[in-house]
Structure 1
Amino acid sequence: MAKPRNILFIMFDQLRWDYLSCYGHPHLETPNIDRIAARGVRFDNARIQSPLCGPSRMSTYTGRYVHSHGASWNNVPLKVGERTMGDHLRDLGMGCWLVGKTHMAADAEGMRRLGLEPDSKIGARVVECGFDIWERDDGMRPEGPDGFYDPGGALKYNDYLRGKGYESDNPWHDYANSGIDDDGNVLSGWFLQNSDSPANIREEDSETPYLTRRGIEFIKAQGDEPWCCHLSYIKPHWPYIVPEPYASMYGPADFLPPVRSSAERETDHPVFKGFQNAPVGKAFARDDIRDKVLTAYMGLIKQCDDQMGVLFDWLEETGRMEDTMIVITSDHGDFLGDHWLGEKTFFHDASVKVPMIIYDPSEEADATRGTSSDALVECIDLAPTFVDVAGGDAAALDHILEGHSLLPMLRGGPAPARDCSICEYDYSATPLAARLDLHPDQSRMFMVADHNWKMIHFESGHRPMLFDLQADPDELTDLGNDAAQADTIARMYDKLNAWARRPSARTTMSNASFIKYRTAGPRTGVLIGVVDATEASNDTAAKYIGRKATDKRER
């Protein structure tokens, strides 16, 4: 075993933590992800910082909370001045490359103001969230009356598909993400009723195998310099549809029942009720639709795991497993009908808890191989972990990086000193905010969770929600209006308020610099409150003593 020279940072999109066999799913076998867990550490309490693709990823890439970096919703630009893992790693001599998705929106106005051209070397990195690009593919090329959701989405992949004979103006939709009937009609994957149809594409040409090959091509092309590769998969994110043989692998006997109760459905909480009544919540409340989606969702995960087998076998054959740290995680989960919700935009663990598995090839990590941890871990911990792997000192960047390096823990040391996890969601651009007549400042909510309790605070002024995670691990009983829990709610608010008071904007000078100033500030001749030369210390008054000048006073 050697120390890791490289980092393979694998992120799936919308992968639930409990839909892997190493996390306990009874019917969905994922032996290839499991084998990394058997060689590394599986974190059982890893949570994201926002239950939506864009802000969650921006927190992971910056190592900072959404409240700090400000990219609070999909396509909200990340400010030009925010440093990302790519910036930190390149300073340490490690390249940082993207293969796949980031959901990054560039701060075009900030770049214009600073004179940064998007096609310059520095400008391109700012546009791409600090990564150098092998291939960016956000996996989204939907088109509506106003045009494409992402004009740059899936362009190279579409070219690849056309080169393989999939003729269409948008083969991403017509083949990779749709089925077909016997009359040749496209059965769009956007319609949930088609989710159990096989995608009309050869399996090897679908998105997950394609990105695996691109990741391997990247690694093959690297020389002797250390690298971090963010291999960022698009699936099992919707559109929920998968090619054969995966489309036929799972059926009702394999599905877990939805985690929900009639009491939840009758909630008096306007925000929670509003999310339940969104179209996606209503769709997943239907068992027939949920069954169709689960057919595809489980098949997509199985395909992802099979491709991990292709990737990890190749790493073994080429010796890369001996010098490469491997991280496997997700940007958020998927409610799949749990709690009468679809999608991910609320704070139950179906959404905010994610798989996180880290394999460290170094001998120092031998003692933790195959172990699990229930430490409170956040996705912002990955950026400082990578800084330490690259030979830096993440602790010296604690004025920028708000997470904690997991490297000591991977090597038998203590868990991060954290007494709660934080997650945020800004829903000010959603129809729900309009229905509730909320100002954007009111359309935000925050989750604070420790090992025992989870509380959700609403800036709208609605009462908090509260869950007893020990007595009610499925989070079915909201205790937020239970007077007997007033002390618990007050304690959780103390945690949230302490987090809100943290310094997060002062990122241009380190904490160490301020500590140094306390006793060894610059001797630049500024003397405040000094009565005479005898009180001056450290020669700070040396330039003022024993000097002569011509007398110019008027007599």
Structure 2
Amino acid sequence: MNILYIMFDQLRFDYLVCAGHPTLKTPNIDRIAAMGVRFSNAYTQSPVCGAARMSAYTGRYVSSHGAQWNGHPLRVGEPTLGDHLRDISVGCWLIGKTHMNADAAGMARLGLAPDSIIDARQAECGFDVWCRDDGLWAQGPDGLYDAKRSPYNEFLKSKGYGGDNPWADFANAGSDGEDMASGWFMRNADKPANIAEQDSETPWLTGQAIEFMEQATGNWCAHVSYIKPHWPYIVPAPYHDMYGVDDIKPVVRSDSERTDPHPIYGAFMQGRVGKTFSRDDVRDTVVPAYMGLIKQCDDQMGRLLAYLEDSGALADTMIILTSDHGDYLGDHWMGEKDLFHAPSVKVPLIIYDPRESANSTRGTTCDALVEAIDVTATIIDASGGEVPEHIVEGRTLLPYLAGRVPAQPRSFAISEYDYSKHPVCSALGTTPRDARLFMVATHDWKLIHAEDGFPPMLFDLLNDPDELCDLGRDPAYTAQRAAMYGHLHGWGLRMS
């Protein structure tokens, strides 16, 4: 059995029809859910790209692998999914984004040659690379956001798109009549991208995935990792105006959240992104574009499904579909990600297992608490390997797919966030070593612990599912906070 491990970037857990979105159209992702199991309580290990992905690729918590922010290198020698799969003769290939930064100092210390296979795999998060493109090729006063070669830019140049950086000038810029409109200004999100739809990033990466599968031999796991619907929030025609203001879900926020908020939460709300997304005019422009990006992603899932069907591969290919984190989109007076409200920390997770053992669960929803690192363990298990529990901290989800309860189901989920590189750290006067947050969530409660003497946050998920009332400083909930700290303490004592 081969495995397609599909990851979108910044796709909210609830922005799919199968997850209850009332106006979006996602028939192809919904079809995958109807073929498999949708997990409705899946949590990312960190609500920021780099740390979340390093957890997904190692199967380990952020505080175990140590790469806690975008651009922080994954230390040399950290075992990854590719290492575990190659041990059982399964290839592990990258098609798209990882956000991986290599531990150059560690490799130099160990004398790893830049042109060796070991060095190449260390630099690519353990994957063999069919096509890597991290998808953010912007340039600012400090230079390029990502200085690596962009294969997508090379593709655009081969198609006749001009300039040094057609990613910025065409794929992620708007078209305003005869003039280019910057994709970085959210007021331009309602404009079509300055590119033919078939040449935009999402279809291009789907084409790369199909080319890989056409030539692949032996058993393989392919990580097809899309950059969208991550910002810039701009999408080509016809997707740019498929949705309008009337299609937007009501914003989830309350004025009470801005009355004496938790200091860290308050600082994020007052940051540039928070203040921008608290404006209705921004939401009215950006959210329809975000929905258009998702619809384009869904259409490309239809293209992948058609290829698998036509080639006869659907019957022996597991499909795992997820995201690295979500997007606030103005909920809780926030934008993008960073904190632990559901729109940011929960992720979609759908698994289609083609084997007969999964027949009884097709089309079902599982509300068990699961984590992104569980996908790593699941892939190892599904590939015929034994999950190395002394290294991989995730737990296989195959029992759920077979209609069984695992021997050790999770009683709580964990997510972590190191904000030492975020402007909020200096705004609060927090020392970098103490700029750390920990979330522990059960089905009914969620607690966020903050280092440096800050109070906790606490939400009653049963009676306040929208997480609008912080009970972290309410004396009536002292016992509940203690119970949640008990979970966090037990997790802190794990073998890691």
TM normalised by structure 1 equals 0.88
**Paired residue for 1:176?**
171
Name the counterpart of 1:454: 446
2:307 aligned residue: 314
Measured in 1, the distance between the counterparts of 2:391 and 2:234 equals 40
Secondary structure, aligned partner of 2:119: helix
Contact 1:441/1:459, CA 8 A, preserved across alignment: no
Instruction: Give 1:195's match in structure 2, choosing from 168, 184, 189.
Output: 189
TM alignment of 1:506-525, pairs within 5 A = none
Give the aligned residue type for 1:252: V
Shift of 1:267: 3.1
CA contact (8 A) 1:447 1:454 kept: yes
Given residue 79 of structure 1, which amino acid in structure 2 is its aligned partner? R
Q: Distance in 2 between matches of 1:432 and 1:476?
A: 21
Of the structure 1 ranges 240-249 and 137-146, higher mean CA displacement relative to structure 2 is found in: 137-146
8 A Cα contact 2:5 2:223, kept in partner: yes
| Aligned with residue 219 of structure 1, among 213, 218, 234 | 213
Between structure 1 and structure 2, the one with the greater Rg is: 1
Give the corresponding residue for 2:13.
17
Residue deviations 1:267-292 (CA, integer Å, cap 9, x gap): 33210000001101010011111111
**1:114 alignment partner, one of 95, 106, 110:** 110
Matched, 1:245 2:260: no
For the residues of structure 2 that align with 1:239 and 1:457, how far apart are their CA atoms?
A: 31
1:234-383 equivalences in 2 (<5 Å):
234-383=227-376
Amino acid paired to 2:162? E
Q: Distance in 2 between matches of 1:436 and 1:211?
A: 41
How far 1:159 sits from its partner (Å)? Answer: 1.3
Query: What is the one-letter code of the residue matched to 1:162?
Result: K
- Which residue of the partner structure matches residue 84 of structure 1? 80
How many residues are matched?
495
| Gap regions ≥5 residues in structure 2 | none
Measured after TM superposition, the shift of residue 183 of structure 1 is: 4.0
Q: Deviations over 1:169-204 (max 9, x none)?
A: 1100010000132342x2111111111111010000
Distance 1:180 1:503 in 2: 54
What letter is aligned with 1:234? I
One-letter amino acid matched to 2:314: M
The corresponding residue for 2:201 is 207
Q: Which residue of 1 aligns with 2:140?
A: 144
Does residue 232 (structure 1) correspond to residue 225 (structure 2)? The answer is yes
Letter in 2 for 1:464: P
CA contact (8 A) 1:100 1:138 kept: yes
SS at 1:179 equivalent: strand
Q: For 2:165 and 2:260, locate their aligned partners in 1 and report how far apart those are by CA, in whole Å.
A: 43
The alpha carbon displacement at 1:118 in A equals 2.9
Letter in 1 for 2:2: N
Once the two structures are TM-superposed, the CA of residue 471 in structure 1 deviates from its matched residue by 0.2
1:83 offset after TM fit, Å?
Answer: 0.4
Alpha-carbon shift at residue 145 of structure 1 (Å): 2.0
Q: 1:86 deviation in Å? A: 0.4
TM-score normalised by length of structure 2: 0.99
- Number of the residue aligned with 1:37: 33
Q: Is the 1:290–1:336 Cα contact (8 Å) retained in structure 2?
A: yes
Q: Do the aligned residues in 2 keep the contact of 1:376 with 1:418 (CA within 8 Å)?
A: yes
SS of 1:478 mapped into structure 2: coil
Stretch of structure 1 that moved more, 66-75 or 188-197:
188-197
Deviations 1:204-230 (A, max 9, x none): 00000000000000000112x100000
Question: Could you tell me how far apart the structure 1 residues matched to 2:427 and 2:36 are?
Answer: 47
Say which of 54, 57, 61 aligns to 1:61. Answer: 57
Aligned with residue 412 of structure 1, among 403, 410, 415:
403
Tell me what 1:105 maps to. Answer: 101
Task: Give the SS at the match of 1:304.
Answer: helix
Say if 2:176 and 2:191, in contact at 8 Å, map to a contact too.
no
Given residue 133 of structure 2, which amino acid in structure 1 is its aligned partner? D
Q: Using a 3 Å threshold, how does the CA distance of structure 1 residues 183 and 319 change in structure 2: closer, same or farther? A: closer
Amino acid at match of 2:153: N
Q: Distance in 1 between matches of 2:458 and 2:115?
A: 49
Is the contact made by 1:118 and 1:127 (CA closer than 8 Å) also made in structure 2? Answer: no
Q: Which amino acid aligns with 2:174?
A: G
The aligned residue for residue 491 of structure 2 is 499
Other structure's SS at 1:299 match: helix
> Could you tell me how far 1:156 is from its partner in structure 2?
1.3
Write the letter of the residue equivalent to 2:221: C
RMSD between superposed Cα atoms in Å: 0.9
Q: How far 1:29 moved relative to its partner?
A: 1.3
Matches of 2:122 and 2:279, distance apart in 1: 43
How far off its partner does 1:431 sit? Answer: 1.2
Percent of residue pairs bearing the same amino acid type: 61
Q: Stretches of 4+ moved more than 2 A in 1?
A: 180-184
Q: CA deviation at 1:149?
A: 1.1
**What is the CA–CA distance in structure 2 between the aligned matches of 1:69 and 1:314, rounded to whole Å?**
36
Paired amino acid for 2:187: Q
**Aligned: 1:469 with 2:461:** yes
User: Which residue does 1:529 correspond to in 2?
Assistant: none
Query: Partners in 1 of 2:191 and 2:134 — Cα distance?
Result: 23
Q: Is the 8 A contact 1:179 1:199 kept in 2?
A: yes
Structure 1 residue 16: deviation in Å? 0.3
* Counterpart contact for 1:192–1:240, Cα < 8 Å: yes
